[in-house]
Structure 1
């Protein structure tokens, strides 16, 4: 199981995302560090575990209220050995800029409409797709959810109503995607509370997850992460 820490950026600081209510997000209050500065939060995550990939949501850019391009570029330069998946929204007709090798675009369905969906082809499958849901409702271009020919290999299933809710991941939805498209790598996002949720995800075939709240609260510890990656938890019989 690969755990990818989530960093939600709004108005220059890392915020605590809760159920997609972006206008209500407040600066992160975390036991990992005493700052909501992105630099401090990344360092705190790395002190917890040697993560290799981070997910950044530039909420201002997604909401078309400015953005954090310079700040993200600084992180790319400061941590060249880390890979950053970055969702900065998408505006029709915008040009792709040249990025360092440790940058990967995340394209969220909520930023597309059916009439602009063809623009995804310009990325030549060099991106991570996020299929965004409120709870059960698909957000954005509806055809993007039903046309796997537009999908890259790595696809986030993002249930915004579960983000920061401590309600657990949407196992049914994720299991359905895994059954229908076994050749794709689906990544869970939203509601993950603890190691048991991650074990349940692994059981249905999901081996990557975006996680924030469980890391900040300590409900997912350094030992939990090490054991999950080594698959050292016992099965139902009690054996490892």
Structure 2
């Protein structure tokens, strides 16, 4: 099972997500990493947890179309051993080369203008974004044959909240696990949630708050990654 660290980047800093209300996002507590720079924080996370995958949301790109090209290029370039899933809101990132460890995240929230039939589904990850119901292209889940193997179920109302994890979304889609690998995001509070998600058949979970707050330790993450 993959436990995937999540970094939300806004104005060149890592910020704390709150229920998808991006106007409320504030820089992460400096004392946690002695920095708010995503490059520094990734180096620390990499050293401590040794993740295979890191998810990044470029909020500048998503909100106003101004992607953090240089920062993201530097991160991908200097961490060739990590696979990066990056949501830039369908904005093209100006990278210095074509990286093999970079996958674009296509989200239902920003689905307008994305042509599923003309994009190689091997090159991107799909995210179904929910606020009680799917937002954006509501027909997207019905287009299974055009969707990539890996799909994120993102409950925005649970992101950064104190509410319990909503497993209803997962249970609705997990029946399609023969065609897709499902990953859940939003509301993971503890190791119990991770184990329950694993038992229901998910391939991985995206975590932010419990990672930064050190609620789950490096030993647990390494065991989950190796299946021990």
Q: TM-score normalised to the size of structure 1?
A: 0.87
Please report the RMSD computed on the Cα atoms of aligned residues, expressed in angstroms.
2.0
Name which one, 1 or 2, has greater alpha-carbon Rg: 1
Cα deviation code 1:92-134 (max 9, x no counterpart): xx79976311111100111113xx35x1233211210001111
1:10-25 pair list within 5 angstroms: 10-25=10-25
Gap runs ≥5 in structure 1: 233-240
Shift of 1:231: 4.5
Q: In the alignment, what sits opposite 1:217?
A: 213
Aligned to 1:127: 124
Q: How does 1:1-240 map to 2 (within 5 A)?
A: 1-29=1-29, 32-90=32-90, 99-113=98-112, 116-117=113-114, 119-125=115-121, 126-134=123-131, 136-232=132-228
- Taking a change above 3 Å as real, the CA distance of residues 231 and 81 of structure 1, as seen in their structure-2 partners, is closer
- What per-residue deviation string (whole Å, max 9, x for no partner) do you get for residues 176-228 of structure 1? 21114432100010011111110000110012111110001111111221233
**Secondary structure class of the residue paired with 1:51:** coil
Q: What TM-score results when the alignment is normalised by the length of structure 2?
A: 0.92
Distance change in 2, residues 1:74/1:171 (3 Å): same
* Unmatched tracts of structure 2, length 5 or more: none
Query: How far apart are the structure 1 equivalents of 2:202 and 2:162?
Result: 19
Deviations 1:16-58 (A, max 9, x none): 0110010110001266412111111101211221112110100
The separation in 2 between residues aligned to 1:174 and 1:182, in whole angstroms, is: 14
Per the alignment, do residues 150 and 64 of structure 1 end up closer, same or farther by CA in structure 2, a change over 3 Å counting? farther
